């Protein structure tokens, strides 16, 4: 149905089910004016065909109905003198009076509602304050713009950034360039331009990092890290020479033999080298004293062993 603003003549096309059968108040989004709108099926009251008075119709209907009821009542001694004072006649008269009273007092609820709606529609509308109208107009314009922007955004939504380069694709491209530079390969942008001619524009393959490239870069970085600790940079320690104990043992034996040889050849050394006679005599005296001390220690050891062996045998 079409709604027309009585103030600014703005027209709106709305579904019929928006307006209930009893009607409702509507407001113009252009000027902010409000008015009561009837349902399309609501009967229009015109001056040429005024609505009949329901109270008059009810009175006519009551009289006709009561006449019919009186005609349908059986003739119980009508016209006889005794019938006028009979209890049955008085009871019938009271029932007829009650029925007449009931028909004479209808409750025109619908008529009252219609009259109130007509009175409200006929009353002049209170003028809206210009400031309030401006505020309402601004709110209506803002809401209209918001709805238009939302509708345009929904209608012109891009293909999730598949065609235009966004932040994700830029980072991916930079990561590929860095990985290619680390591996010493040429710039992949030229290869991507060549491959883009054969790839579906709506494909997402170029937006996602290649797992093979990531694995290869990780392996190359791992190998580079492992290669940085080369064994050539840290030479191994020379093998430790074995036989140190043997060398010391034989050295002691050699020195002891030389000392023993010098002790035994002391007279010959003094004859051949008279200048060393004093040193040779002192050396011989030291060796003799050492021999005596060693002899004493040997005797003590033997005595101790004899005592131990004797005590063990006595027990």
Minimum mean pLDDT range among 11-15, 78-82, 139-143, 266-270: 78-82
The string of pLDDT tens digits covering residues 214-259 is 777 776 655 555 555 555 555 666 666 666 788 889 999 999 999 8
Q: What is the pTM of this model?
A: 0.24
Task: Give 146's strand partners.
Answer: none
Name the nearest CA neighbour of 35 among 15, 66, 10.
10
Q: Name the pLDDT band for 193 (thresholds 50, 70, 90).
A: low
Which residues neighbour 287 within 8 Å (Cβ) at sequence distance 6 or greater? Answer: 259, 263
* pLDDT score recorded for residue 22: 82
* Domain positions in the chain: 2-43+118-155, 59-105, 167-228, 251-307
> In the predicted model, is pLDDT for residue 74 greater than 50?
no
Q: Name the pLDDT band for 97 (thresholds 50, 70, 90).
A: low
Helices (H), 184-276: 188-196, 211-228, 244-264, 266-272
> In the predicted model, is pLDDT for residue 28 greater than 80?
yes
* pLDDT score recorded for residue 38: 83
- Return the percentage of the chain with pLDDT > 90, whole number: 12
């Amino acid at each position: 149905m079409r709604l027309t603003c009585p103030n600014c003549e703005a027209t709106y096309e709305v579904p019929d089910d928006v307006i209930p059968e009893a009607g409702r108040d509507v407001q113009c989004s252009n000027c902010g004016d409000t008015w009561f709108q009837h349902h399309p099926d609501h009967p229009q009251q015109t001056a040429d065909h005024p609505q009949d008075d329901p109270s008059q119709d009810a009175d006519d209907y009551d009289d006709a109905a009561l006449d019919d009821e009186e005609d349908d009542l059986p003739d119980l001694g009508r016209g006889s003198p005794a019938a006028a004072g009979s209890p049955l006649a008085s009871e019938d008269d009271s029932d007829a009076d009650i029925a007449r009273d009931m028909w004479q007092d209808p409750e025109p609820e619908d008529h009252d509602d219609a009259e109130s709606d007509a009175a409200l529609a006929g009353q002049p509308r209170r003028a809206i304050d210009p400031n309030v109208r401006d505020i309402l107009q601004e709110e209506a314009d803002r809401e209209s713009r918001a709805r238009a922007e939302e509708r345009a955004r929904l209608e012109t939504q891009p293909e999730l950034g598949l065609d235009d380069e966004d932040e994700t694709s830029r980072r991916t491209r930079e990561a590929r360039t860095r990985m290619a530079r680390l591996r010493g390969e040429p710039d992949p942008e030229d290869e991507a331009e060549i491959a883009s001619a054969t790839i579906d524009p709506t494909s997402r393959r170029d937006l996602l990092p290649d797992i093979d490239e990531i694995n290869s870069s990780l392996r190359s970085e791992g190998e580079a890290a492992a290669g940085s600790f080369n064994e050539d940079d840290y030479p191994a320690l020379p093998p430790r020479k074995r036989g140190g104990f043997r060398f010391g043992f034989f050295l002691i034996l050699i020195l002891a033999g030389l000392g023993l040889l010098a002790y035994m050849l002391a007279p010959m050394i003094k004859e051949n080298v008279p200048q060393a006679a004093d040193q040779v005599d002192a050396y011989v005296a030291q060796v003799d004293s050492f021999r005596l001390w060693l002899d004493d220690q040997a005797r003590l050891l033997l005595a101790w062993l004899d005592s131990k062996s004797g005590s063990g045998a006595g027990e």
